[in-house]
Structure 1
Amino acid sequence: MDAIPWHAGISVVVLTYNRRDTLCWTLRHLQGLPERPRIAVVDNGSTDGTAAMVRDVFPQVVCLRSDTNLGAAGRNLGAQWAAQVAGTPYVAFCDDDCWWQPGSLARACALLDAYPAVASLTARILVGASGKEDPTSTLMSRSPLPSADLPGRAILGFMAGATAFRAEAFLAAGGYDERFFIGGEETVLAWKLAAHGWRMVYAPELVVHHHPSPLRDSRARRALLARNAVWAAWLHLPATMAIGDTVRAMPSLAMHLGVAGWRELAHGMQWVLRERAVVGDHVVAALRLTRRQR
């Protein structure tokens, strides 16, 4: 029988791909948390020995290995594990180059227990050794959305690698769509949650530390962000807003998307338009309000 007093309320899921050494550092931080959460690593088909490292160095960490790189959708495997195997109602996500501050997971559980209409709590992100606040955290703290009776500012989105979820809400909304791969993948899931009446909250009393890995392809990420913005807009927004989002994405598309990328964008529009389902007026109104702020 497992003698470790695992925290019964929340599990931590870490998404990784070919960043074994960075992941090792992150897991040491997570295993030292006073909450003693169950931890799972979703290995997106790494080829650098990540799975073997987890098995040999962190035998108490579950490794959920995918044969292929699922991108952000790999987190779906982690959410299913948390709900169905670990048996925790809440799941906290982080990437392989960030970790939750001691005490934040316990506080997240208390807030989710106290606010049953809240699906997600996004933590304040502190970057690097200096602990400078991430600009997105600053923006979320100024959200103009009505926030009465919530444990923080209401937001229409979240940061995928710094958010604790109610597992049932995450899974019922379908999690992340594999076709978006990565880059702005939170957008569609956030709109779906809002459409189903769930609230999303920025809770700065929760903290995640982010030490960005140098192993990242910024150009590819910018291309995916622009492509995904167009797909998301035509999938769920009114035509006038979708046209505007497409126009705004064009400079980035022109700069970062190669021939293959343009072909993929056009091909993807087929399933986007086939599955197009415009979100409700309350979601559109909230989105307009947040965009006016920006």
Structure 2
Amino acid sequence: MTVVVLTYNRSHELRRTLMQLSALPEQPPIIVVNNGSSDTTARLVSRDFPEVKLISLAKNWGAAGRNVGVDLVKTPYVAFCDDDTWWTPRSLEIAVDILDYHPEIAVLNARILVGEDKKLDPSCSTMEESPLGFWKDVGPLLTGFMAGANVMRTSAYIQADGYWDAFFIGGEESLIAMDILNCGGKIVYAPELVVRHLPSKQRDNKLRQRLIARNAIWTCWLRLPWRLAWSRSKEILGQISDRQLRRRALFDALLGFNKIVSERRVLNRDTCELLRRVWQKE
């Protein structure tokens, strides 16, 4: 098991995360992808964590920076976290045991505890109520996962071509999750695995909301049959209460239409049905 950490201009948060990861009893190899940071990130890692493999990119590639980290992974499994998240002791050991025993599982999403008071992330509550049933002794079956709190088969990541660089950030997991499902892999919520999350204050929430909406629409048109893509796109836009944000998200999505058409690959019927079942419960 190797851990890949994605970071951008958050050296203070990264220090805390690397201290936690370096203290894990499993002692996994750690790869830090420095996404074009202009702060002290590179110096911090080189000086204080010499055992960590540091990859410094010339610019910020967003979520696709993880692809560079995975290119250097030599283990069959890879765990992901961000600079404001970290894995708790024994979680990675349990993940290895689960993946060894269940070759059908491609991705395990951890239980995420947020803040100093360790509140359950609302996304985990949604995962617990998945309409897709329960995978044996592990947890509920899913159609997606959280980018900074999952363990994946390295082969599944590579087969799905990793994260699409055009997304940058915001809901980037949806496309790779669809492709993993389409290849027959299972995505499972495994509450035995625990990730801590202390959300960074360095966030541009308005930009992130725009990108999430744009990327969700792009994902529809990249993979869904035309009719389903159209209906799902309308649902996504309808969920945005801010009229200006809704217009901007639509405009952003239309700007990439030619690229979307050129990259379009429609999912099989079974994968589309799984997605429909989850969306109907929203």
| TM-score interval, normalised by the smaller of the two chains | over 0.9
1 CA distance for matches of 2:197 and 2:4? 15
Quickly say closer, same or farther: Cα 1:262–1:287, change in 2 above 3 A. Answer: closer
Distance 2:135 2:171 in 1: 27
Counterpart of 1:59 (choices 34, 38, 50) is: 50
State the Cα distance separating 1:81 from its structure 2 match: 1.1
1:250 is displaced (CA, Å) by 3.1
Would the aligned equivalents of 2:106 and 2:186 in 1 still touch at CA under 8 Å? yes
Does the 8 Å contact 1:150/1:201 carry over to 2?
no
The CA deviation at 1:98 is: 0.7
- Name the counterpart of 2:259: 271
Counterpart CA distance in 1 for 2:41 and 2:255 is 33
Letter in 1 for 2:109: T
Q: Quick one: distance in 2 between partners of 1:238 and 1:98? A: 36
Gaps in structure 2 of 5+ consecutive residues: none
1:199 maps to which of 179, 183, 186: 186
Q: Closer, same or farther in 2 for the Cα pair 1:293/1:258, shift >3 Å?
A: closer
1:213-228 superposed matches below 5 A: 213-228=200-215
Matches within 5 A, 1:244-283: 244-250=231-237, 252=240, 254-256=243-245, 264-283=252-271
- Partner Cα separation in structure 2 for residue 75 and residue 180 of structure 1: 13
Over the matched positions of the two proteins, sequence identity in percent amounts to: 44
Output aligned runs, 1:8-19, within 5 Å. 10-19=1-10
Residues in 1 aligned to 2:28 and 2:49: alpha-carbon distance in whole angstroms = 14
Match of 2:134 among 147, 150, 154: 147
Matches within 5 A, 1:1-294: 10-82=1-73, 87-149=74-136, 151-250=138-237, 252=240, 254-256=243-245, 264-294=252-282
State the distance in 1 between where 2:250 and 2:235 align.
16
CA contact 2:135–2:188 (8 Å) conserved in 1: no
CA distance in structure 2 between the aligned counterparts of 1:148 and 1:58, rounded to whole angstroms: 38
Distance 1:149 1:284 in 2: 23
TM-score, length-scaled by structure 2: 0.95
Cα distance in 2, alignment partners of residues 18 and 189 from structure 1: 26
Quote the offset at 1:238 in angstroms. Answer: 1.8
Alignment-mate amino acid for residue 28 of structure 1: M
1:186/1:271 CA distance change after superposition, 3 Å: same
Q: Contact (CA 8 Å) 1:15, 1:96: kept in 2 or not?
A: yes
- CA displacement at 1:254 relative to structure 2: 4.4
The answer as to whether partners of 1:158 and 1:200 remain within 8 angstroms in 2 is yes
Whole-angstrom distance in 2 between the partners of 1:159 and 1:77: 19
- Tell me the TM-score normalised to structure 1 length: 0.91
